[in-house]
Structure 1
Amino acid sequence: MIHIYSDLEGISQAAAEIFIDAAQQAIHSHGRFSVALSGGSTPRRLYEILATPPFRDRVKWQSVHVFWGDERCVPMDDPRSNYRMAREALLDRVPLPGGNIHPMQGDLPPAEAARRYEVALRNYFRDQPPAMDLVLLGLGDNAHTASLFPHTPALNENVRWVTDVYVDAQDMHRITLTAPFINRAAQVVFLVSGADKARALQIVTEGAYQPHIYPAQLIHPNGAHPIWLVDKAASHKLTVEIEEEV
């Protein structure tokens, strides 16, 4: 399902409502809410909104558990760290217990960091089905999502929940949730902003299924379509007529 908004602010406001609704439902249903955050520049505004009244006051933060969809293999205080961005925009500004924050350890050797994160996830879901309540994702101009990049071994991982990946184009190791684990989530929401994402969005949602080239095509939570929150600039190459939101 694709929802088009005028700009990043519209996307972020809509995503905040989805976040809050998902949190309230999960906490009512099973006592806690698990969310995997996205990195990159697009979700930062969402995090800022969630950290600001009245949105902040609508979430029972002591029952929220924060995970990450992926991370660069850099120290946690590195400006490129997804954890650092989320901490500055959201985590330091809400009453979230420290034990409820589950960052990927990008300063460890990549394979070890991935192994430890999978252990942490398995411990968290020990008494419940292993499914995130909400996964937030972005979309790269090459159609990657999380750290599932074109033509990388991570795309073929069907057993592990977390894996490490080396991205040649960036000369960087990363850690990522795998597509099968993401697809167990109750809800997956893509946030896509900017004209530079238009071609990728059109191919992923309307093009032939070629996930080794366009990895975001792998994401279909519980066999269904993810929710796409996109702005006008990112949507301008879509050919299917879609009703625009305010």
Structure 2
Amino acid sequence: MELKIYRDKQEVAEQFSAYFVEKANTGKPFHVALSGGSTPKIVFDVLAANFSDKMDWSKVHFYWGDERCVPPTDDESNYKMTVEHLFSKIDVPEANIHRIRGEEEPNTEAICYANLLEINLNEVEGTPQFDLVILGMGDDGHTASIFPHQINLWNAEDHCVVATHPESGQQRVSINGKVINAAKEVAFLVTGASKAKKVKAVVEKTEGSKEYPATLVDPKSGNLVWFLDEDAAADLD
């Protein structure tokens, strides 16, 4: 595990963008699972502003680690946010954008998206392998859309699962833990003081931390990087 701690959310976004470009700009196809949230939004802005013409976007294939079960025109859609902050500003082929169809029946879409991953990605021991999975972490320790109250979904048989937000009851389609841990590289983007307690629990594996899905992120490749701002890292020893 590698910890990278920066001054604020903007610096996290700038440093992560440089890291992403270094990983993705190899001239070979690059398959990445995106995250939603406020920090990725800034990352997408930085990528669009600073790297739109410095990347061969035709080689990058975009997927999502999770998506809310809403239409692509809904303000809650991770896909819509990415279109507004990144895709609309770079030259990426439509065929390279592989969205989770949040408007479809959730269980059907989970099966369809799992099939898509199996077709498009190389497999390692029967599990589709991303080049990079980008993750956030909620104040409750959830990651992708695997929440503490449904932590059993982490090791689900199916590569994609249907999860339910514990407060809103909103359904989401998410990749499972096996897919996350099969990735060549996994990067957490976590910012803000509200995340500090869970960052400490997950990184230092304190007592009770196994209740948090983020603690289960342990890629077989050994390549796990945390991009944190000082607020999120404040409680670390």
| TM bracket (short chain) | over 0.9
Residue number in structure 1 paired with 2:22: 21
| Separation in 2, partners of 1:154, 1:59 | 39
Moved over 2 A (4+): 127-130, 153-159, 207-212
Letter in 2 for 1:49: V
CA contact (8 A) 2:205 2:215 kept: no
The offset of 1:210, in angstroms, is 5.0
Q: 2:119 aligns with which of 123, 147, 162?
A: 123
CA contact (8 A) 1:209 1:217 kept: no
The offset of 1:167, in angstroms, is 2.2
Residue number in structure 2 paired with 1:244: none
Letter in 1 for 2:33: A
Matches within 5 A, 1:45-60: 45-53=42-50, 55-60=51-56
| Separation in 1, partners of 2:57, 2:44 | 14
CA contact (8 A) 1:151 1:212 kept: no
What percent identity do the matched residue pairs reach?
36
Q: Does 2:90 correspond to 1:112? A: no
Q: Does 2:61 correspond to 1:94? A: no
For residue 20 of structure 2, give the secondary structure of its aligned residue in structure 1.
helix
Aligned-residue RMSD, C-alpha: 1.6
The superposition leaves residues 80-102 of structure 1 with CA deviations (integer Å, 9 ceiling, x where unpaired) of: 01001111000111110001100
| Separation in 2, partners of 1:70, 1:180 | 14
Residue number in structure 1 paired with 2:174: 176
Structure 1 residues 33 and 222, CA, compared in 2 at 3 Å: closer, same or farther?
same
Letter in 2 for 1:197: K
| Separation in 1, partners of 2:165, 2:136 | 17
CA contact (8 A) 1:44 1:89 kept: yes
CA contact (8 A) 1:154 1:165 kept: no
Q: Does 2:72 correspond to 1:76? A: yes
Extract unaligned runs of 5+ from structure 1: 240-246
Residue number in structure 2 paired with 1:141: 139
For residue 191 of structure 1, give the secondary structure of its aligned residue in structure 2.
strand
CA contact (8 A) 2:151 2:211 kept: no
Residue number in structure 2 paired with 1:39: 36
**Normalization by structure 2: what TM-score?**
0.93
Structure 1 residues 223 and 23, CA, compared in 2 at 3 Å: closer, same or farther?
closer
| Separation in 2, partners of 1:111, 1:200 | 30
Residue number in structure 2 paired with 1:4: 5
Extract unaligned runs of 5+ from structure 2: none
The superposition leaves residues 92-130 of structure 1 with CA deviations (integer Å, 9 ceiling, x where unpaired) of: 1111000110000111111011111011111112x6653
CA contact (8 A) 1:210 1:217 kept: no
The offset of 1:213, in angstroms, is 1.8
Aligned pair count?
Answer: 233
Residue number in structure 2 paired with 1:221: 219
Structure 1 residues 67 and 4, CA, compared in 2 at 3 Å: closer, same or farther?
same
CA contact (8 A) 1:23 1:64 kept: yes
CA contact (8 A) 1:154 1:178 kept: no
| Separation in 2, partners of 1:225, 1:217 | 15
| Separation in 1, partners of 2:99, 2:32 | 12
Structure 1 residues 110 and 154, CA, compared in 2 at 3 Å: closer, same or farther?
farther
| Separation in 2, partners of 1:17, 1:221 | 22
Matches within 5 A, 1:154-193: 154-193=152-191
The offset of 1:161, in angstroms, is 1.4
**Normalization by structure 1: what TM-score?**
0.90
